[in-house]
Amino acid sequence: MAATRMLIVDDEDLARENVLFQLSASGINFTWIMEAASGEEALDIIKTNRPDFLITDIKLEDMNGLTLIEKARALQPRLICGVISGYANFEYAQKACRLQAVDYVLKPVKSEALILMLQKMQSARNRLELVEDLSADKYQLTSRLDEKRLQEDMTAFVRGNQLAELSEIKKYVPASACYFQMSIIRADKEQLPPAFRQDLNLLRFSIRNLMTEICANQCIPVNSQDSRNMVLALLWDSSAEQETACLRLTKNLVRLRQAIAQCAPAGVIISSSAIHRTLSSSIFLEAVQALDLRYAYAPEALPPILSFSSYAADLSLPAFVQDRQVFRDSLAELNLPQIQRSLSTLLLRYRQQPALGIREAYTDIVRELITICYKNGLTILPLLGCEHVNGSVLNDCRDLLTLQQGLSKLIDTIFQHWIPERQDIHFILSQVKQTLDRDFNSPDMSTGELAQRFCVSPAYLSAMFKKRYDINISKYIIARRLTYAGRLLTDTDLPVTRISGLCGFNHASYFMRQFKDFYQQTPNEFRAASRSQPGQGTGPAKHSPDSGVTDGQAG
């Protein structure tokens, strides 16, 4: 998927955090994943930051998710929308279809369903871009649509999407094909000749043309959606003899390597899977693992083609398992020097035994970091970003040294600045409550904003605040604002719309709905009652933050 901006809208912190984590772990890189806890907050974000995609819950506190889609589309007609819901409601699903939402997924959201929704969103975006960019030339439009469809089918195939049948990719492969191989052509932009460095699409086009010419149309080359990997290619041979097929496929890749070297002497790397009798998405994973072999070599010693068959067959895993346990123990003790030493050992172990899989080792390290931070009341997902959680950061690193330097810097930031300052959750809660009592009327005040300010997980902060003060943060903010609004209505002649803004509400209509729900009176009724009978009509019908919520209260 191309770089995109995603907005997640859900008034349940845990549900929103779940979708955020699954997006981060999906293997899809987003430029920016934004969050909103209400429809009004989402609309403000859409006005300011113009996301490409919107995923919203049906039931929000301030508006229906489908209403949000309607309003969002009025602000940004090109917005691609998806819906999640805890209700298997046919009418909701029907209206979502009428609003052209690409999918309707039930909670709890499963990763397979979410990935399928994302693929549908990207397909919708591709179609929209084609309609906008192309002229009325029907032949050109059909040709581009076919190319996009091939791109989508190949993407679904290599991701192992269970819902994308193998027949979708086989329709591009002749029935005579007997043996299959996958290859990835990667480029390090900094090492390319100036012409290609300035125009990577030119390099992609050149590589695809060379592949088609050399392989005599026994391949499907498509542009990779990864910024560093230029071309992804499925190759095949029609010989029924395995040895003959292997020789031909290997010869074609060698010829391709030589042809590319003539126009780009440096900066291009080719990887290849093993050769298989049957076609499955596992050959893509083998090509990725083969590409990761570059971490096992010094940059100047890279072989012409990184082959999956180079992986060692015999591994002495116990040493690696022991190294990982040392790393876990160091994390648990928050021993930064030992953490850095054990990290270095883990990554160097990969160079000694590349078949261990650097991608798996890296994601294991990141998972351990996430776990220890959550135990200390922190979320590092915003700091990490999708690329660290799913391991795709490895696509951007040239060698093991740059990978280790980046990870070491990240660990330094976490353990030198975050954890030491944030270990006392009671201190954090006290600071959060003081912030709320001082800045409750700030329009930006929310659980997410507080979590970011105090560098803790929104889910963890929300749960601990509720446990300590017996009210969740969003309701506490609303209660503080409405209590203040009651005082202003009683003590001043300010108009209701002005009071709404002074209390932190962006929209007077939302303020009036919340006020009526809180006091069982409209603002004007409340003002009239408080002045005709002082003391009557000024008490909230619901729990007020001024009655019994103190820092000394335990949950």
For 213-234, the DSSP string reads HHTTT-EEEEE-SSSSEEEEEE
pLDDT of residue 163: 46
Using CA of residue 161, residue 234, residue 296, residue 194, what is the dihedral sign? Answer: negative
Type and span of the H or E element at 128: helix 111-133
Task: Read off the pLDDT of residues 13-57 as tens digits, 9 standing for 90 and up.
Answer: 778 888 887 887 776 767 778 888 888 889 988 887 888 899 999
Categorize the per-residue pLDDT at 131 as very low, low, confident or very high, splitting at 50, 70 and 90.
Answer: low
DSSP, collapsed to helix, strand or coil, labels residue 284 as helix
Residues contacting 187, CB < 8 A, separation 6+: 196, 200, 203, 228, 229, 230, 264, 267, 268, 269
pLDDT of residue 551: 54
Task: Read off the pLDDT of residues 202-226 as tens digits, 9 standing for 90 and up.
Answer: 888 888 888 888 887 788 888 776 6
Question: Higher pLDDT residue, 277 or 314?
Answer: 277
Q: Which residues of 400-412 are buried (b: 16+ CB within 10 A; e: fewer)?
A: beebbeebeebbe
Q: Is the pLDDT of residue 356 over 70?
A: no
What's the Cα-to-Cα distance from 526 to each of 271, 417, 539, 545, rounded to whole Å? 72, 48, 10, 19
- For the segment 263-288, the average pLDDT, to the nearest whole number, is 84
Question: Higher pLDDT residue, 314 or 198?
Answer: 198
- For the segment 249-257, the average pLDDT, to the nearest whole number, is 91
pLDDT of residue 543: 43
pLDDT of residue 500: 92
pLDDT of residue 248: 92
- For the segment 468-487, the average pLDDT, to the nearest whole number, is 91
Categorize the per-residue pLDDT at 58 as very low, low, confident or very high, splitting at 50, 70 and 90.
Answer: confident
pLDDT of residue 447: 83
For 8-64, the DSSP string reads EE-S-HHHHHHHHHHHHTTT---SEEEEESSHHHHHHHHHHH--SEEEEESB-SSSB
Q: How many CA atoms lie less than 13 Å away from 344 in the CB half-sphere?
A: 7
CA distance 19 to 459: 12
175 close to 234: Cβ distance less than 8 angstroms: no
Tell me the angle at which helices 111-133 and 138-158 cross, rounded to the nearest 10 degrees: 160
372 close to 379: Cβ distance less than 8 angstroms: no
Weakest-pLDDT range from 88-92, 289-293, 420-424? 420-424
Residue 456 zone, left/alpha/beta (φ > 0; ψ -120 to 50; rest): beta
Question: Higher pLDDT residue, 267 or 3?
Answer: 267
Q: Is the pLDDT of residue 316 over 80?
A: no
Task: Read off the pLDDT of residues 64-122 as tens digits, 9 standing for 90 and up.
Answer: 888 899 889 888 888 899 988 877 665 666 666 667 788 888 887 888 888 888 888 88
- For the segment 477-503, the average pLDDT, to the nearest whole number, is 92
- Please tell me what DSSP assigns to residue 80: E
Nearest to 306 by CA among 350, 232, 253: 253
Q: Is the pLDDT of residue 187 over 80?
A: yes
| Mean pLDDT score of the chain | 78
234 close to 154: Cβ distance less than 8 angstroms: yes
Q: Is the pLDDT of residue 438 over 90?
A: yes
CA distance 495 to 476: 24
Q: Is the pLDDT of residue 137 over 90?
A: no
Nearest to 7 by CA among 448, 393, 310: 448
pLDDT of residue 554: 41
- Bridge partners of 6, per DSSP, are 33, 53
Q: Is the pLDDT of residue 288 over 70?
A: yes
What's the Cα-to-Cα distance from 529 to each of 522, 525, 526, rounded to whole Å? 10, 6, 5
pLDDT of residue 33: 81
What's the Cα-to-Cα distance from 268 to each of 183, 202, 285, rounded to whole Å? 13, 14, 20
pLDDT of residue 382: 54
Query: Which of 83-87, 130-134, 375-379 is predicted most confidently?
Result: 83-87
Question: Higher pLDDT residue, 315 or 268?
Answer: 268
234 close to 220: Cβ distance less than 8 angstroms: yes
Weakest-pLDDT range from 38-47, 370-379, 492-501? 370-379
pLDDT of residue 1: 45
pLDDT of residue 127: 73
Percent of the chain with pLDDT strictly greater than 70: 76
Question: Higher pLDDT residue, 386 or 244?
Answer: 244
pTM (global) more than 0.85: no
Radius of gyration of the chain (CA): 28
Q: Is the pLDDT of residue 302 over 70?
A: yes
Tokens of 352: 């000694």
- For the segment 340-366, the average pLDDT, to the nearest whole number, is 75
Weakest-pLDDT range from 64-68, 124-128, 182-186, 550-554? 550-554
Q: Which long-range contacts (CB under 8 A, 24 or more apart) does 401-406 make?
A: 403/295, 403/347, 403/358, 403/362, 404/343, 404/344, 404/347
- For the segment 289-307, the average pLDDT, to the nearest whole number, is 82
- Bridge partners of 269, per DSSP, are 186
- For the segment 114-135, the average pLDDT, to the nearest whole number, is 73
pLDDT of residue 477: 93
Q: Is the pLDDT of residue 148 over 50?
A: yes
pLDDT of residue 315: 44
Q: Is the pLDDT of residue 312 over 70?
A: no
- Phi and psi at 281, nearest 5°, equal -70, -10
Tokens of 258: 């030589």
pLDDT of residue 489: 92
- For the segment 461-471, the average pLDDT, to the nearest whole number, is 83
Largest CA distance in the chain: 98
CA distance 112 to 486: 48
Weakest-pLDDT range from 18-32, 190-204, 359-373, 530-544? 530-544
User: Cis peptide leading into 108, omega within 30 of 0?
Assistant: yes
- For the segment 293-309, the average pLDDT, to the nearest whole number, is 81
376 close to 422: Cβ distance less than 8 angstroms: yes
- Give the amino acid at 55: I
